[in-house]
Structure 1
Amino acid sequence: MQKLKININADVGEMAGQDKALMPYLQSCNIATGGHIGDNQSILATLELAKKNNVKIGAHPSYPDKENFGRVRPEITDEFLKASLEVQLLNFYSIADQNNAEVHHIKPHGALYHDLVNDKNKAELFLSVLDEIDVKTSIYTLKGGFLDTLGQKTHKIYHEGFIDRRYTADLNLVNRKKENALISEPKEVWKQLKSMHFDNTIIVDTGEKRHITAETYCLHGDHPKAVEILKFIHTQIK
């Protein structure tokens, strides 16, 4: 299958059962490193799947919180978080190195992703971990957040847009607890991607149009219609 030029990424290695079907449609992927889900076996299997499909590989670290799938900020110290991130990333890079898999980027997961956008101290902590373990990998994050502005000094940043999630007026994602947080229909997901990529605009939850910039676009790998959506997008772009 011919790859699309648009960089669509997905969170994988999360036991959602769709990774094999998703990979042919992706340019890049973010593999769970064990914080919210995953283990050495799932990391290795997903690395091999990505290599087979010529998909750029990313590490997908998170808060150490399997109970809430990393989507809730846990009450832990900065020291504990730092130690967990070091373990997750060192282990992931070790497995990748042993299997000749190049790591293209890092994309934080869930609550950690949003905290690194909105919390300067957390963003500094995360970047200090990358510095201490000598990781120069690119980073996927939202434009204008702390991880973006601080990370640009030492890392290549890819600004990310979410094609299966609704946005608020300040260009944050609508909380998953709200009914309108997730976009389910393939035509609506395509409409949002098309608007983002070709017009640099998005319709937010208030109905207003906002300017947005992104170089990579996320579709969550555990979305129940992820495969159907990617097939539809592929058809539309061709």
Structure 2
Amino acid sequence: MSPRIDINCDLGEGCASDAAVLPFISSASIACGLHAGSAATMQRTIRACLEHGVAIGAHPAFDDREHFGRRELQLDDDTLRAQLRYQLGAAASIVAAEGGRLAHVKPHGALYNLSARDPHTARIIAEEVARLDAGLRLVGLAGSASIAAAQALGLQIVGEAFAERRYDRDGRLCPRNRPGAVIDTVEAAMDQVRHLLERGAVIAEDGSEVRVIAATLCLHGDREDVIDFARALRATVEAAGFEVAAP
């Protein structure tokens, strides 16, 4: 039996390419209306995922459209919980109304990165996921505080690796404002993916090899070349002997 790995993409963020990406992925994390998207785009994207047999996840973020959810905000706990409940509840209700089921939750952008390093934020997110549905999977950076918090609450976890982002020597994603943090070319990204699949590790920005145990690979739906990228990622994963499937 071939090993399996998930390919996930962030969708519903207003990109015209969403529908063309769906044949190449197995999971989608759908914007819940605060950093991008709306009720209408959520419904439209959920319907498209159901048509293609793609597992559906919620992609909650900080309430910050101006910066696409990629600016870290300092929120009190009650405000963060309220924003999470608003987004997760909306996603779950629309999925249910369309006859599907929410499969996972993956924080977006700055909220994702904060939860990866900050146990307190990670625990709040995990608690809100469990409060909504203890059967949901929580997707987080492999080996991070986000994964640890979810495990502590008994949630199913999905460790994530990034096809198109550079890592530092501690296994964290390099900040986007750092030169080279985003892997621009498809070829260079596929080199990272092949190394990850073959060795369970990535080469960090300083040249060191960092262990990364992941069950899902992410590509970002807002890349200009996302269709070509998705096609190449699917081909690379399958050429390495992996079956592409949701967890």
TM-score, normalized by length of structure 2? 0.90
Dislocated runs of 4+, deviation >6 Å: none
Deviations 1:47-79 (A, max 9, x none): 011111111111100111111111111233221
TM-aligned CA deviation for residue 18 of structure 1? 1.2
Post-superposition Cα deviations, 1:11-57, rounded to whole Å, max 9, x if no partner, equal 00000211011100001110001121111100000001111111111
Choose between structure 1 and 2 for higher RCO, CA contacts under 8 A separated by at least 6 residues: 2
Q: 2:31 touches 2:58 (CA, 8 Å); kept in 1?
A: yes
1:166 alignment partner in structure 2: 166
Work out whether residues 25 and 234 of structure 2, in 8 Å CA contact, stay in contact via their aligned partners in 1.
no
- 2:120 is equivalent to residue 121 of structure 1: yes
- 2:86 is the counterpart of 1:87: yes
Give, in whole Å, the separation in 2 of the partners of 1:186 and 1:5.
22
Match of 2:216 in 1: 216
Identity %: 30
Q: Is the 8 A contact 1:184 1:225 kept in 2?
A: no
Match of 1:136 in 2: 135
Is the contact between residue 158 and residue 216 of structure 2 (CA under 8 Å) also seen in structure 1? yes
Whole-angstrom CA distance in 1 between matches of 2:181 and 2:15? 20
Q: How many residues in Structure 1 have an aligned counterpart in Structure 2? A: 235
Aligned partner letter, 1:66 = R
Q: Which moved more, 1:6-15 or 1:125-134?
A: 125-134
- Counterpart CA distance in 1 for 2:211 and 2:4 is 22
| RMSD of Structure 2 on Structure 1 (CA) | 1.6
Counterpart of 2:106?
Answer: 107
- Give the TM-score of the pair, scaled to structure 1: 0.94
Structure 1 residue ranges without an equivalent (≥5): none
In structure 1, what is the Cα distance between the partners aligned to 2:126 and 2:73?
A: 20
Residue aligning to 1:49 = 48
CA contact (8 A) 1:6 1:27 kept: no
Distance in 2 of aligned mates of 1:208 and 1:126: 31
Q: Please give the alpha-carbon distance, in whole angstroms, between the structure 1 residues aligned to 2:223 and 2:4.
A: 22
* C-alpha deviation, 1:6, in angstroms: 3.4
Deviating more after overlay: 122-131 vs 55-64: 122-131
